Chains A and B, each alone.
Chain A
Amino acid sequence: MIGRRAALALGAMALARPSRAASGRIVVVGGGFAGATCARALAQGGHAVTLVEANPVYHSCPFSNPVIAGLREPEAQAFGYDGVRRDGVVLAQQAAVGVDAAARRVRLADGGVLDYDRLVLAPGVDLRFDALPGYDEAAAETLPHAWKGAAKAVLLRRQLEAMEDGGTVLMAVPANPYRCPPGPYERASLIAWYLSRHKPRSKLVVLDAKDAFSKQRLFQAAWAELYPGRIEWVPLSSGGGVIEVDAGARTLVTDFGRHTGAVVNVIPPQRAGGIAALAGVADRSLWCPIDPVTFESRLVPGVHVLGDAAIAGAMPKSAFAANAQAKVCAAAITSLLRGEAPVEPRLINTCYSLVAPEYGISVAGVYRPEGGRLVDIEGAGETSPLDAPREVRALEAAYAGSWFETVTAEVWG
């Protein structure tokens, strides 16, 4: 028990530091790059934070393409939550199944409920198994997406390893928006790297539902230099749009014809992770409109949406962006709970892609809120130069690995 004098002194301290009194109960749903970052930043700021994440281990999508190409082991993609717990975050290893925004309450799969002052949803993406006829979860067992989790990336790698030399690899790439805009082209590059070494008579056909893509000139210049004749990119206007999948025949159907592959990778269309729709924060686009200063939902007050699920204007759906948004959102939530106006943020993104093990390229951007959305700051960002020497490509490949090591330490370490 503390004495009256000590209690008075403590009271005086509390008055002197009003910020301490303005901590809140925060529930964060989703333990990926956005959610885990935000949970830790909020806990470090003195809030009572519960992180709702059904899986005990997170498998990173960044650097999963090197796993597919046999350049990296899947174990290097796995991250647990001990570091998050060390910061005082309470883990609820549960799926969130509903949100009652009026009562400020999250419902969990086991019937439990969590009350909150502010809710952060960072559910990532759900793959849409209803969008491409013939491509459902069963089809993904033979034509792996390798766009979430570890198992399908390993399956795609095994299929490439088992393929006879001379077999054709097919990739289906969706229209925008989807997680990691340059990801399919990094994947095409590293599969071409694998084929050039292990299946020299094989080639890769990329059927794309769009006519332009991230870092396109850099990728295509590198493909011509490193993998001449091995990658055939078919844009939408040349018949690249896949409209149907025949999984049994390992065949992709387009308006222009049918393509059959020895190995077929289908990256399906995507949407904000399931809880977003259940919470009412996703709009008809299936993604979540947000305020660009606080990342608070435009549709449901008191709920913030981060990372791939959010409509973040010019910011791409990348892990770097998710991590940066999470820190800005944590600061905004602290301000809101103190009754202060959040600081207008500035956000950075840098996305690295590996075209070969020692050949990296990047796209960067700096963003600020304008007219209710996040916009690019003119003159900043852009891609690596088209004419950079190989030393610069090697340096960017090293920086890509370094970024992964640093950011995953901040998120889970």
Chain B
Amino acid sequence: MTWRGCSSALLALLALLCVGAAPDVVAAPAGASSCSGCHSPAPGVGAVPHIAGLSADQIAGAMAEFRSGERPATVMNRIAKGFSEAESRAIAEWVAAGSRP
């Protein structure tokens, strides 16, 4: 298991331990709380692609492709460039852990 795998597993464990606690607005990594302005937690709302339900790998992978320009985009290519690989990863873990997308 890679370090990244380990840290994901740890985060998942932490998320499980936190079940039942009040939603913690502090826990959002830098930038993560902005996502829900466009990305609805409710499926089927609007034309903006849904990220709720995606895995951390899928979200972090998409951010990397937006950043490199590999994946076509209207605005996410411009936004992804404001975050490093590690910062995107932290946001992806938080969104995938079922926090507000």
Contacts and interface: CB of A to CB of B under 8 A. Distances in A.
B4 to A, nearest CB: 21
B30 interface: yes
B40 A45 contact: no
A377 interface: yes
A301 B28 CA distance: 25
A242 B35 CA distance: 39
Given A366-B82, A401-B47, A406-B45, A44 B25 contact: yes
B74 A392 contact: yes
B47 A399 contact: yes
A365 B46 CA distance: 22
Given A331-B25, A366-B31, A384-B74, A403 B37 contact: yes
Interface stretch (A125-133, A188-196, A342-350): A342-350
Given A380-B82, A406-B48, A346 B30 contact: yes
Contacts of B82: 346, 348, 365-366, 377, 379-381
A17 interface: yes
Interface size on B, as a range, is 20 to 34
A406 B26 contact: no
B28 A406 contact: no
A330 interface: yes
A41 B27 CA distance: 13
Contacts of B48: 399, 402-403, 406
A401 B46 contact: yes
Interface in B40-66: 40, 42, 45-48
A396 B28 CA distance: 28
A407 B101 CA distance: 12
A238 interface: no
B79 interface: yes
B83 A366 contact: yes
A29 to B, nearest CB: 20
Contacts of A377: 81-82
Interface stretch (A76-84, A89-97, A321-329): A321-329
B79 A364 contact: yes
Interface residues of A, number: 50
Contacts of B40: 405-406, 409
A382 B34 contact: no
B37 A335 contact: no
A114 interface: no
Contact of A348 (B23, B31, B46): B31
In terms of DSSP, what is the predominant structure of the interface of chain A? helix
B33 interface: yes
Contact of A344 (B22, B30, B79, B83): B30
B73 to A, nearest CB: 10
B31 A399 contact: no
A41 B26 CA distance: 10
Interface in A278-337: 320, 323-324, 327-328, 330-331, 334-335
A354 to B, nearest CB: 14
A392 B76 CA distance: 13
Interface in A366-400: 366, 368, 377, 379-382, 384, 392, 395-396, 398-399
A331 B30 contact: no
A55 interface: no
B7 interface: no
A410 interface: yes
B79 A348 contact: yes
A395 to B, nearest CB: 6
A37 to B, nearest CB: 9
A350 B75 contact: yes
Interface string A345-363: 1111010000000000010
A258 interface: no
Nearest to A347: B34
B66 to A, nearest CB: 11
Given A379-B81, A405-B45, A399 B38 contact: yes
14 contacts: A19-B21, A44-B22, A44-B25, A320-B37, A364-B75, A379-B81, A399-B46, A401-B46, A401-B47, A403-B46, A405-B40, A406-B38, A409-B40, A409-B42
